[in-house]
Amino acid sequence: MKPSLFGYHAPKTLAEAGAILAQDADATVLAGGQSLLPAMNFRVAAPSALVDIQHVEGLKGISIKDGAIAVRAMTRHREFELDEQVRQANPLVAEVMQHVAHVPIRNRGTVVGSLCHADPSAEMPLLLTLLGGSVIAQGPNGAREIAAEDFFTSFLTTARKSDELVIEARFPLLPAGAGWAFDEVTRRHGDFALVGVGCIVTLDAQGKVQTIQLAACGIADRPVRLTEAEAMLKGSTLTPDLDAAANASLSAVVAPDDMHASASYRRRALKALITRMVTKAASRVRPGAPS
Ligand SMILES: Cc1cc2nc3c(=O)[nH]c(=O)nc-3n(C[C@H](O)[C@H](O)[C@H](O)COP(=O)(O)OP(=O)(O)OC[C@H]3O[C@@H](n4cnc5c(N)ncnc54)[C@H](O)[C@@H]3O)c2cc1C
């Protein structure tokens, strides 16, 4: 199919982009177009106009500041994946990025676009949720920071207002010496995750869990922090408590059966992934490593 008729704007400044969004609530931001254009071609989305932000000044680049990796809105997936500073500062990023679609899509699609699209099976929303990151939304009344847990509100829905542009995402660095792991179950490489799980863990000198962050995608209408399992594993030596913690997470699967997988399959995949990711993350811990 072809999209319905739409207008097109190519602003050069944030102020211009903001003014167009403020005037027309049905106008939609266009970043890499890898999710929006297929949706328009299927007529799932029919915006009155596209506000193409690729030429807006100040929206490109990655920097590391205040304990986080700041990713500006027009940064492509592939730049985030291959950036050497990012690889050093947070190796979990590259581990996650290789699962996002395929290289040609990662060359065009943006990290922030994926966050704004808010597919509950997508890897970027999971990564932001797992790390406890945030986005910066710029609107007519200035900029506001929105924590990941507040940003993703439902299926393909975020707390962003229609007159706001997300200008940056902030992915916190890993704690000193932390181990990390991410993997997902898909039918084919490059597909969206049926279920994905990420884990970040630090251990004390006795091998007990000091801090643990666990999150999953593909199991609900948004990415989910598995807080019950985190609480059960904190202070434990992992192995005796891991099975019970994985079982306690199964109630977080609320996605209904669909053409891709049943809820029961998702629960089994979630349990297997939690067990594997916690074990893998713990094996990568470097106690006493400098931050
Ligand atoms: C075949 C195929 C397979 C894919 N597989 C995967 C996969 O396995 N995992 C995965 O995570 N993704 C996958 N994707 C999606 C891909 O990662 C997209 O690049 C990404 O979801 C959206 O980024 P984009 O820059 O292309 O955003 P666009 O398509 O331009 O925009 C997406 C949405 O976000 C909004 N938006 C974009 N930027 C902003 C902003 N700065 N402020 C406010 N709103 C904004 C747009 O208005 C639109 O609603 C796949 C895509 C295709 C075509």
Residues with a CB atom less than 6 Å from ligand 1: 28-36, 38, 73, 100-101, 105, 109-110, 112-114, 116-117, 122-124, 160, 165-166, 190-192
Quick one: average pLDDT of 124-148?
A: 97
Quick one: average pLDDT of 30-40?
A: 97
What is the rounded distance in angstroms from the CA atom of residue 218 to the CA atom of residue 167? 26
pLDDT above 70: residue 288: no
> What is the set of domains in the chain, with CATH numbers?
7-52 (3.30.43.10), 62-172 (3.30.465.10), 179-283 (3.30.390.50)
Which residue's CA is minimally distant from atom 41 of ligand 1? Answer: 166
Instruction: Report which ligand 1 atom has the smallest distance to the Cα of 35.
Output: 29
Instruction: Report which ligand 1 atom has the smallest distance to the Cα of 76.
Output: 25
pLDDT band at 195 (very low <50, low <70, confident <90, very high): very high
pLDDT band at 107 (very low <50, low <70, confident <90, very high): very high
- State residue 205's pLDDT score: 92
- State residue 190's pLDDT score: 87
Quick one: average pLDDT of 185-193?
A: 91
CA angle 230, 234, 239 (to 5 degrees): 95
